[in-house]
Chains A and B, each alone.
Chain A
Amino acid sequence: MSTAIGRPVDRVDGLAKITGAGRYSAEIALPGLVHAVLVTSRIPSGRIGHLDTYDAERAEGVLAVLHHLNLPKGGSVPALLPSLFGAAASGQTFFPMQDEVIHYAGQPLAVVVADTLDRAEHAARLVHITYEHTPAITTIEQGRDRAYEAEKIFAGFIPGRITRGDAAAGLAEAAETVDLSYHLAANHHNPIECSATTAVWEGDRLTLYDSTQGPNATLHTVAELLNIMPSHIRVVTGYVGGSFGCKAMIWAHPALSALAARAVHRPVRLALSREQMFSGCGHREEQEMRIVLGADRDGRLTAIRHHKLSPTSHFDDWAEPSLSVASSMYACDNYEGVYRLIKANTMTPTFTRCPGEAAGMFVMETALDELAERLDLDPLEIRLRNYAETEPGTGNPWSSKGLRECYQRGAELARWSERDPRPGRERDGNWLLGWGMASSAYPVTPPGGPQRARARIFADGSAVVQSSFADFGTGSATVMTQVAADGLGLPLERVRVQYGDTDLPNTAAAVGSAGAGMVSAAVHVATTALRDQLIAQAVADERSPLHGADPGQITVTEGRMHLRERPDTGESYAELLQRANMTDAEALGTWNPPSMMGTGYGTMTFGAQFAQVAVDPELGLCRVRRLIGVFDPGRVLNRKTAHSQLMGGMLWGMSQALLEGTVMDPAGRWSNASLGEYLVPVNADAPDVLIETVETTDTVVNPLGVKGIGEVSMVGTAAAIANAIWHATGRRHHRLPITIESVL
């Protein structure tokens, strides 16, 4: 029985956000708080010749200047492990300020601590560093001849080469092929809140206020880096100003803030500047892809060959898994995917919203459109002809799949059947108009270990539900309140959730669109366990009207336990607890997720996207007029917040298509490391977005059948837009972003 789940409830943290009362991690006011500022490398490769701190140390208000010669060495750098595992999750296996070697521009070389921010920033400029340069490689172009096939990527979880069937044979028998090469620029997350940590020591106990997707990931990473017991660290994550993946893994700054606080015996705040956000918490790597598709005369795929080349750091073999989802989107027996890497002078790339799916599916979905054109097939029809009824590769059934319904509904909303298939036919003044479409898909991945929540009800019938997860704008605190209310049978306003604190029951980082699924499972288990415990108590209590009843026949409405068939027989939680002289009752709930190694099912969220663009070929302008997305996310916990997240993802896809790209300058530094020069959409760029979901029931992924919505909606948007640009102009684009220059 569900009354709160699904409702478009306002965000429970909304009041704090609209009044400015919510405190983000760089806004914690503490007595004696001082400020740390990073000094970073201006060169991408070499050594520190001389690091002169004389002027900085003597500047007004300066308390300490830390660098490789005086930074206390602690523990070891944890292995690279996605934070979904719930353990230590260092973003790269390199920790700065341990020696004089420079691996990338922006690498922290010193930390200046002073009593005010202005003084710390000023003193940071007084740290004089001379460099010994060594040759650097920072782009694909510079490192092409050193590329190697990766043995494993993605922290060792994905092999560098994946094959099924025989791609060469499949291509040989194809009636039609396309062979296309793509270049996708690097991207940076750029949440509006820059990463920040405030560190406070009390004796040997450390509290970190950290802006992160995973407070426990921060805890375990810092524990290993500093070699202190996890039990001595508490991480508090109140409000987080967006992440999009740059706060999914744990970078150097939380540990550096703790080391700085220990050095000056004061609470220390370390906030990255906007420029430092471009080399302080990872990026989506520059990538080249080549795709070869073969099909028979009816458009059925006979082979897919999909290769990727991208730069990684000197320490880690990391590439976002751009080939994965594209490899299991369509029925095709012959497949070959290869990841090639170049060791480069950058930091280790990291998760960026739709890590791999957005890039790889852009390539797949635009290539498929070209194939359809050659075969004179409708773009939607070629997708239906290759519809995967089971998971390609494994042959496993899908846990749920509503893609056919998504295509159908999206096509209705876009009036797809009325579209003239020939390009360049429709005009609006100077604007050429076009429609394009693409498929969306994103895997449902379970977290690496048990997920926990605690439910506590008081004798007045109000409840608190606790779990350590962070809400970084996803709406998880709101949907957990709804899940808890239904689990306990209480009205929403009687339930408060407490979250964002590692002192609360353990959860993994909310990453990979898995947050709502795993935390809702834990909260559901905890709250239904508490409900069942109280029902059992009532049944056993001679003074209860429910004494001796069959617990299976009892349900709870508005905090009152009663017989399903005879609602007037029952009593409230409050009456039961008060009679027993209990101030409260509580239960811990643990959800053991299915194995990460596989459930025997293909588990994915699917969708279909349609875009209308207007292109002014003389000015090179491309405006997105309409975006339509239909998705099958399983159970929707809150229609309002889900809509917002899906909309945000689609606008991210639009931005991927038309705006976003970070460019290396010849000196090996990101040349556009600011919000003025790294383009993200502003209000005038964002069209209205039409979003619908189709009903799918999924009993495999987690108890409530939540497949996740944070990322799937970004997959396919860019391809739908690029396909629409072709439809408007007759020109294909194989580079992202599609800029004015490339449209001209």
Chain B
Amino acid sequence: MVASHLPDAVQGPGPVDVVLNVNGATHVVRIEPRVSLLDCLRDHMNLTGAKKGCNQGACGACTVWVDKRRVVACLTLAIACEGREITTIEGLAENGILHPMQKAFLSEDAFQCGYCTPGQIMSAVALLAEGHAGSDAEIAEWMSGNICRCAAYPNIRTAIRDVRDGVGGVGSAAR
């Protein structure tokens, strides 16, 4: 019914032009409306930093920010992100300077295979902004949407604490 009143708003199912703001730049991609933000980034924009671990919202590997909030890109439609500000791991470093969270992940060895890592880092930076890093228990709880099968969890918590406490990037030696 709505469609009959707004014929111009009907889009798809064929490819349509979608305008997306990703990491501060505007992109026009021609995609079907059913394409997820994750597939759009990875397959249509060649931004493969956001990872696909399940495509079902269960692992957090695809975590990106939409308007600064963390979302799972596999359950977000790209077309629904028009007019919003999308940030991916590729946009986290500024002018080639790593974000302190990236440095802390490296120095604390908060990953092994690295496949969950972009999602963990995007989650971890947002977590600090949300104010959910008060204690280790709170960090653990609010980071539990990001699975790390290599089980780097204790080191992920250490990295987040480092940044929270301004130790940023100063690695502990082997324990």
Contact = CB atoms under 8 A, between A and B. Distances in A.
Interface of A: 8, 10-11, 13-24, 26-27, 29, 60, 116-118, 190-194, 239-244, 271, 273-274, 472-475, 639-645, 647-648, 651-652, 655, 674-676, 680-689, 691
B53 A194 contact: yes
Contacts of B52: 26, 194, 271
Given A14-B106, A17-B111, A651-B153, 12 more contacts: A19-B98, A191-B115, A192-B147, A241-B115, A274-B56, A640-B174, A641-B112, A643-B174, A644-B155, A648-B151, A674-B56, A686-B151
Contacts of B112: 242, 473-475, 641, 644-645, 648
A274 B152 contact: no
B32 to A, nearest CB: 6
Given A29-B46, A117-B43, A193-B53, A19 B89 contact: yes
A11 B151 contact: no
Contact of B139 (A10, A14, A243, A683): A683
A648 B90 contact: no
Contacts of A691: 175
Contacts of A26: 52
Interface string B82-110: 00000011101100001000100111010
A274 B59 CA distance: 11
Nearest to A691: B175
A23 B46 CA distance: 11
Interface in B158-175: 171, 173-175
16 contacts: A10-B171, A14-B111, A19-B89, A27-B42, A193-B51, A193-B115, A241-B116, A271-B52, A473-B114, A641-B112, A644-B155, A674-B54, A675-B53, A675-B56, A684-B140, A685-B153
A651 to B, nearest CB: 4
A117 B42 CA distance: 11
Contacts of B154: 647, 686-689
Contacts of B48: 20, 23-24, 27, 29
B50 interface: yes
Contact of A683 (B90, B146, B171): B146
A10 B109 contact: yes
A684 B98 contact: no
Contact of A15 (B106, B113, B121): B106
Contacts of A239: 113-115
Contact of B49 (A19, A473, A651): A19
Contacts of A60: 14
B76 interface: no
Contacts of A681: 151, 153
Contact of B58 (A8, A18, A472, A674): A674
A108 to B, nearest CB: 19
B98 A273 contact: no
Contacts of B67: none
B119 to A, nearest CB: 9
Bin the interface of chain B by size.
35 or more
**6 A-B pairs with the lowest CB-CB distances in the bound complex, closest first:** A20-B49, A241-B115, A473-B113, A17-B114, A639-B174, A473-B112
Contact of A192 (B14, B49, B61, B90): B61
A244 B118 CA distance: 20
A152 to B, nearest CB: 32
A279 B154 CA distance: 31
A190 B53 CA distance: 9
B79 interface: no
Contacts of A639: 173-174
B43 A242 contact: no
Contact of A274 (B42, B51, B53, B93): B53
B113 A684 contact: no
B34 A652 contact: no
A192 B147 CA distance: 8
Contacts of B34: 118
B141 A684 contact: yes
Interface string B134-151: 000101110111111111
Nearest to B113: A473
A709 to B, nearest CB: 12
Contacts of B126: none
A8 B175 CA distance: 10
Given A18-B121, A643-B109, A684-B144, A675 B58 contact: yes
Nearest to A675: B58
B115 to A, nearest CB: 3
A8 B115 CA distance: 22
Nearest to B160: A683
Contact of A19 (B50, B93, B155, B157): B93
Contact of A10 (B61, B106, B155): B106
Given A10-B171, A643-B174, A647-B151, A18 B113 contact: no
Contacts of A194: 52-53
Contacts of A472: 113
Given A17-B114, A192-B53, A274-B55, A680 B147 contact: yes
Contacts of A675: 53-54, 56, 58-59, 147
Given A192-B53, A473-B113, A675-B58, A118 B39 contact: yes
B153 A192 contact: no
A645 B111 CA distance: 10
Nearest to A682: B144
A589 to B, nearest CB: 27
A10 B106 CA distance: 7
Interface in B15-61: 32, 34-35, 39, 42-43, 46-56, 58-59, 61
Q: Which of B54, B107, B113 has the most CB of A within 10 A?
A: B113
Contacts of A243: 113
Nearest to A190: B149
A585 to B, nearest CB: 33
